[in-house]
Structures are given as structure tokens and as C-alpha cells.
Amino acid sequence: MSPSAELLEQVESLQNILVSQATGGHEEEADYAALRDVLLARTELATLAPKFVRTSRSLSQFWQFIKYKFPSYAERRTYLWDEFRPLLERIEQGHTGPADEAVTAAIEKFDAEHLQTAWRKALERRQTDPEGAITMARTLLETVCKHILDEVGTAYGESPDLPELYRLTSKALNLAPSQHTEGVFKQILGGCHSVVEGLGALRNKLSDAHGTGKRAVRPAPRHAELAVNLSGALALYLLATFEGQAGTSGR
């Protein structure tokens, strides 16, 4: 059995254990704990794991969650299958983007649920919902910028657009091209600004953020991969810079 096939079988077994537990069955705690550990040890996949898997360390904790979530067995089964679907589809596809693991690790350091949610949705929609993935790619950058600006105490108004949020963030982190004199740094940092503007334009043209006409261009998964990977790389850069500066200053 290939590693991906084995992992798929393990995650399906985890799903089946939870479905059984939610519908009157009595599963072994040790089996659940072992399969949960396998999944959460894979950083590139842990972000796609349903939240109740990440927060329920035991089947008894899961039961306390699911018994109040839905009253009927049918509703519980449907909910669990839907929650596991993005993870199972990702394993079946057998690949992740180049920055997935690094961005996931950087976001998890901040223990900010809103950041993790934006990144998880961007990842899980790349293949199955390209329009939604492009929307979430922009949302991720907006969320990262606001998170950093809140941390450093910089105001950004009621409804700033993404380029303005990035301008304020890059200035706060000393990443604005105007703050450097070395030509190569100015060029690279200026390129980052261009990427941000491009993501905003891509989102406006190809995402599900606006209504579309009959002849609208539909994004392919490769467009979503590009948007999410660019957004993830920039988010990683901003968070790493913020973390480095916070450590230096003692914040």
C-alpha cells in the first residue's frame, strides 16, 4: 500500500469512528487517539482537519460537542461527512502547494483562529472551488495585515482596500520600498506591492466576490493555485518579519 493510500485509509477510519460514536456506537479511545495523532502530525493536512478533531482530545470530548450540535443521527452523519470531505479530497489529489506547510506553521504560532480559518478555507477550495479560493486568498492577506496592524497599534479605518492595508503594514514593518536605499531591496519590495495589487485585480475579475455576466471568465484550479500560493508566500513573509521584529524589540 502506498503512503497516500495508507493515509487515506487512516483518515477514513477516523471519520468512521466519529460517525459511529455520534450515532450510538461505542468506539475505543485508543483507536481514536492514535488516528488523530497521525493526522495532526502532518502539518500540511492538519489545517484541513475538522475543528472538532483538532479540539477534541478524546471521544468523550467529541461526544459533548456533537450531541448538542445536531439532534438526529442523520444530521450528524451528513455534517461529519461534509466536514471531512475537503481533507479526504486533498489526500486523494496527492499534492500540496509549495508554501502550505511553512505558512500553516507560521499562522499556528499566533494562535489566531481568524488567521487559521482564512488559510484553511483558501487551501481546501483550490481544486474544488477556484472562485472561492481566490476570494479567500485575498481575505487571508487582508486578515494578516489587520492582525499585524492591530498588534502594532496602527489604525486602518473602517473599510480599507487590500493595497492600502498592505501599504500600512509594510510601512509598519519597515518593508516599504521608500524605506530602503539598496536598489535590489527596493525592486523586490516594490514587486511585493505589485503582487498585492494583482491579487486584488484577480479577485475582482475571477473570484465569486462579485456578480458575473453570461460571458464571464471562470477561473481554473491553476489560477486558484497561483492566487493562494502568492497570498500564502506574502502572508508568511509578513508574519515572519513581524515575529522577528517583535522578538528583537521584546514585544
117 shares its domain with 87: no
What span, in angstroms and rounded, lies between the C-alpha atoms of 44 and 65?
25
Q: What is the DSSP letter of 216?
A: P
CB neighbour class for 54 (10 Å; exposed up to 12, middle 13-18, buried from 19):
middle
Which residue among 77, 93, 109 closes a domain?
Answer: 93
| DSSP states along 29-55 | HHHHHHHHHHHHT-HHHHTTS-HHHHH
Which residue among 57, 73, 93 closes a domain?
Answer: 93
Handedness of CA 24, 25, 29, 32 (dihedral sign): negative
Q: Are 105 and 43 in contact, with CB atoms under 8 Å apart?
A: yes
Length of the chain: 251
59 shares its domain with 113: no
27 shares its domain with 126: no
Mean pLDDT by 10 residues, the chain (251 residues): 79 96 95 94 80 94 96 96 88 62 69 75 79 89 92 89 92 90 87 87 59 62 85 89 75 46
Q: Are 170 and 192 in contact, with CB atoms under 8 Å apart?
A: yes
How many domains would you assign to the chain? 2
121 shares its domain with 229: yes
Residue 18 is part of which domain span?
A: 3-93
141 shares its domain with 83: no
Q: Specify the 3-state DSSP secondary structure of 172.
A: helix
List, as own/partner pairs, every contact residues 70-73 make where C-beta atoms lie below 8 angstroms and the sequence separation is at least 24, other chains included: 73/22, 73/23, 73/24
Reported pTM: 0.59
Name the grid cell of 91.
Answer: 489526500
What span, in angstroms and rounded, lies between the C-alpha atoms of 43 and 223?
24
211 shares its domain with 89: no
Name the grid cell of 214.
Answer: 453570461
114 shares its domain with 8: no
Q: Are 4 and 91 in contact, with CB atoms under 8 Å apart?
A: yes
CA distances from residue 94 to 45, 62, 153 in whole angstroms, order as listed = 11, 28, 42
243 shares its domain with 190: yes
Q: Where are the alpha helices (DSSP H) in the chain?
A: 3-22, 29-40, 43-46, 51-55, 59-69, 73-93, 100-109, 113-125, 130-152, 162-172, 183-206, 221-249
Which residue among 93, 119, 139 closes a domain?
Answer: 93
What span, in angstroms and rounded, lies between the C-alpha atoms of 225 and 211?
22
